[in-house]
Structure 1
């Protein structure tokens, strides 16, 4: 009886292991978050009244984009795997 063939190697996940890809995507998301936040901030500076719901939602969205960029840069999934 012949031995079973060895299991195939796990597929390479190029996009998660490529430092350049993570750097470009992470900085792009951080930049997009900064741009959205700056545009919401400019609306706040022009008006003397309390911020509207849309402006607050825009700031929360900017915070989400920026935090997503940090997660892409830090890549906690790869660091949490036990070896």
Structure 2
């Protein structure tokens, strides 16, 4: 291995894993996260509708966590970090 090859290899950006290059893997895992977020959201929502009471702190925490799961699923599906590639010359 020539010395100039070793220097260029250390400057190269690390390659993404095989998971992020697979569209079907991203769609399945993103859909699973969105589905779990909807399931978590429907728990406290059902209680609030049945009892006709305002949400308590635990229910607000569950709903916030559910929206976090849904957003995470959307981010996994669209993969915005993979589209922001810098051209280094």
Q: TM-score range by the shorter chain?
A: 0.7 to 0.9
Larger helix proportion of the pair: 2
Q: Deviations over 1:4-26 (max 9, x none)?
A: 37338854510111111111110
* Structure-2 separation of matches of 1:25 and 1:45: 30
Q: 1:61 to 1:3 in 2, by over 3 A?
A: closer
Normalised TM-score (structure 2): 0.79
Count matched residues: 82
Moved over 6 A (4+): none
Normalised TM-score (structure 1): 0.84
* Structure-1 separation of matches of 2:53 and 2:18: 49
Pick aligned residue for 1:73 from 69, 77, 82 = 77
Pick aligned residue for 1:13 from 13, 17, 27 = 17
For structure 1, list consecutive stretches of 5 or more residues without a partner in the other structure: none
**Comparing 10-19 and 58-67, the one that deviates more:** 10-19
